[in-house]
Structure 1
Amino acid sequence: MSAVVVDLKVRDLADADLAACGFAGSKLHLTQVAKELDRARRGEVDYLAVCAKTDLPLAIGGIDYVPYPGAGSLWQLSVQPALQSCGIGTVLIGAAEQRILARGLDRAEIGVELSNPRARALYERLGYVAYDERLEAWDQQNPDGSITRYETVCAQMHKKLT
C-alpha cells in the first residue's frame, strides 16, 4: 500500500468558511463559532482552520487567551470524521501551540471528556499531562432541533511550551 501525501496549510478561520464546517457540530455550535470569530477580531481568541489545496477546512479549533492567565486554552477542536487519525489534529494542535508562543505565553491548556479516550491519547502523545477533572456543561442541539444542556466530566490537561 502506498502513502498519500497532502500539503496542508493552517490559516485563520473566516466567516465564509462556516458553511463548510458542518462536520464540527450542529447549527447551534456553528452559531457559537461565529461568535468566537467576533472575539478573534477583538484579539481575545485565535480560531484556526487546517486546509488542503481546495482551501476548505478539514479541521478547525480555537485558542482562548482569557480563561487561564499566562496560557492559551485549546477548545472546540474538530477534524472531518473521515480524515481522523491522519495527522491533521496534530497539525492543528502544533499550529495552535505556535500561536500561543507567538503571544509570549508558554503554556497550553485543554479539557478532554473522560468518554473520549482517543482524543486524550493524542494529547498525551503530544506531551499534555492531566492535572484535574472538572464538570463541564454546554447547550447542545438535538437531531430534532431541540436544545438540551449537556454535562460531562473533563480531564484538564496542560503542556509547557518551548
Structure 2
Amino acid sequence: MDGVVLALSARDLVPDDLAACTWSGSALHLDSVAAQLARARLGAVDYLAICPPSGLPVAIGGVDYSVREGAGTLWQLAVHPALQSCGIGSFLIGAAEQRIRSRGLGWAELAVEESNPRARALYERLGYVAYDRRPDGWDELAPDGSVRRYETMCTVLRRQLA
C-alpha cells in the first residue's frame, strides 16, 4: 500500500488561526497561545503553524528567545492527534530550528514531560540530548469547568545547531 505525501509549509500562527486549533488543547490553552501571539508581534517569540495546502494548521509550536541566552526554547509543541507519527512533528521542529538559526543563535532547547517517552524518543532521534530536569506546571480546565494546577517533572534537552 502506498502512503500519502502531504506538502507542508511553515508560517507564523495568527490570531485568526486559533479557531482551527481547538485540537491542540482547552480554551484555557488557546488563551495562552493568544497571549504568546502578542509576544510574537514584539519579536520576543516566534509562534509557528505547520499547514498543508489548505492553510489550516495541523501543528503549532513556539520558540521563546528569552529563556536562555544564546538559545531558542521550543515549547507548546502540538500536532493534530489524527496526524501524529506522520513526520509533522519533525517538520515543526525543523522549522523552529531554522527560526533560531536565523537569529544567529546556536542552540535549541526544550523540556519534555517524563511521562511522555514517545515525545522524548522523537527529540532524541532529532539529536537532542538530555542535560537537566526541572518541575513544571500550568493551569488547565477540569471536566467541571474549574481551573486546576497541573504539576509535572520534565527532562530538559538541547541540541547544538549547525
Q: CA deviation at 1:13?
A: 0.2
Letter in 2 for 1:153: M
TM-score by length of 2: 0.99
Paired residue for 2:160?
160
- Return the alpha-carbon distance in structure 2 between the equivalents of residues 52 and 65 of structure 1: 27
Q: CA deviation at 1:137?
A: 1.1
Q: CA deviation at 1:144?
A: 2.0
- Over the matched positions of the two proteins, sequence identity in percent amounts to 63
Q: CA deviation at 1:3?
A: 1.2
Paired residue for 2:115?
115
- Return the alpha-carbon distance in structure 2 between the equivalents of residues 60 and 88 of structure 1: 10
Structure 1, unaligned runs of 5 or more: none
Paired residue for 1:3?
3
Q: How does 1:59-138 map to 2 (within 5 A)?
A: 59-138=59-138
TM-score by length of 1: 0.99
1:21 match: secondary structure: helix
Cα offsets for 1:46-67 (capped at 9, x unmatched): 0000000110000000000001
Q: CA deviation at 1:92?
A: 0.2
- Return the alpha-carbon distance in structure 2 between the equivalents of residues 144 and 87 of structure 1: 35
Structure 2, unaligned runs of 5 or more: none
Cα offsets for 1:123-162 (capped at 9, x unmatched): 0000000011101111111222110011000000000000
Aligned length: 162
Letter in 1 for 2:75: W
RMSD, aligned α-carbons:
0.5
Cα offsets for 1:23-47 (capped at 9, x unmatched): 1100000001000000000000000
Paired residue for 2:16?
16
- Return the alpha-carbon distance in structure 1 between the equivalents of residues 50 and 142 of structure 2: 27
1:34 aligned onto 2:37: no
- Return the alpha-carbon distance in structure 1 between the equivalents of residues 142 and 57 of structure 2: 24
